[in-house]
């Protein structure tokens, strides 16, 4: 049994509650590929029906996918990405690019993300500042945000050594 993160005051932990196992992210990937029908998710992923049923239900429950009625003769439905689900494009692209760089290597990318306007692969995603200049890990700092719990604030204060 995996640990639950529902009580953690952390956006990463909460995102993992929604997306935190490989089948879930692969279901989302398939939805980005255009897969909509249960049988197609099952066939493309090689996933068992019961696991797929659980993952699709979980993604619908959390608002990542919508279950859409398409049956004209009886009940039939498909799944589509919601606005929340579509907003994962950046996350998946970052994972694709990370895997391409560190696992497959340049020139061996299994899937490329293409700019439809130019027909060319998009540049590697980067974190940029207000001025548009790329920021490296050394330029980043984590601080408690407006929604930080007292525990989160104490953890950062202890790290700074100032007791605030």
- Nearest Cα to Cα of residue 95 among 117, 113, 78: 113
Is residue 116 situated within a structural domain? Answer: yes
If asked whether residues 119 and 100 sit together in one domain, one would say: yes
User: Do 55 and 114 sit in the same domain of this protein?
Assistant: no
Is 153 among the domain residues?
no
Does the pLDDT of residue 1 top 70, yes or no? Answer: no
Summarised one tens digit per residue, pLDDT across range 13-46 is 899 889 988 899 999 999 999 999 999 999 999 9
Q: Is there a single domain that holds both residue 17 and residue 75?
A: yes
- 69 and 120 share one domain: no
**CATH code, 73:** 1.10.10.10
- In a domain, residue 75? The reply is yes
Task: Please tell me whether residue 117 adopts helix, strand or coil conformation.
Answer: coil
Taking a C-beta distance cutoff of 8 angstroms, is the pair 71, 77 a contact? Answer: yes
Q: Determine the Cα–Cα distance for residues 160 and 21; give it in Å rounded to an integer.
A: 33
Nearest residue to 124 (alpha-carbon basis) of 106, 142, 151? 106
CA–CA distance, 11 with 16 (Å, rounded to integer): 8
Residue 96 above 60 pLDDT?
A: yes
Q: Judge if 22 and 82 occupy the same domain.
A: yes
d(CA 51, CA 41): 11
Please tell me the least confidently modeled range out of 16-25, 44-53, 101-110, 111-120: 16-25
C-beta neighbour count of 41 within 10 angstroms: 20
Look at the block and give the residue holding tokens 């979980």: 58
Mean pLDDT score of the chain: 92
Tell me the residue range of the domain where 51 lies.
11-86
Q: Is the residue at 61 inside a domain?
A: yes
Chosen domain end from 68, 86, 104: 86
Q: β-strands 114-115, 120-121: how paired?
A: antiparallel
Q: Does residue 108 share a domain with residue 41? A: no
Based on the fold, state whether residues 70 and 101 are members of the same structural domain: no
Q: Which residue has the tokens 């996350």?
A: 91
Q: Is 77 in the same domain as 16?
A: yes
CA 17/CA 156 separation, integer angstroms = 23
> Does residue 141 fall inside a structural domain?
no
Q: What percent of the chain has pLDDT over 70?
A: 96
Domain annotation covers residue 1: no
Same domain for 55 and 98?
Answer: no
> Rounded CA gap, 27 and 33, in Å?
10
Q: Please indicate, yes or no, if residue 23 is contained in any of the structural domains.
A: yes
Residue where a domain terminates, one of 29, 61, 86: 86
């Amino acid at each position: 049994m995996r640990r639950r993160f529902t009580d953690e005051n952390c956006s990463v932990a909460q995102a993992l509650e929604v997306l935190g196992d490989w089948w879930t992210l692969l279901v989302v990937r398939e939805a980005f590929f255009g897969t909509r029908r249960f049988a197609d998710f099952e066939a493309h992923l090689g996933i068992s029906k019961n696991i797929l049923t659980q993952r699709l239900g979980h993604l619908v429950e959390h608002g990542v996918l919508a279950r859409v009625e398409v049956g004209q003769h009886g009940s039939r439905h498909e799944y589509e990405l919601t606005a929340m689900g579509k907003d994962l494009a950046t996350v998946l692209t970052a994972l694709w690019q990370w895997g391409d760089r560190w696992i497959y290597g340049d020139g061996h990318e299994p899937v490329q993300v293409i700019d439809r306007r130019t027909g060319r692969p998009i540049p590697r995603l980067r974190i940029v500042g207000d001025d548009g200049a790329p920021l490296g890990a050394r330029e980043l700092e984590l601080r408690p945000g407006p929604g930080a719990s007292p525990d989160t604030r104490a953890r950062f204060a202890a790290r700074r050594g100032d007791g605030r």
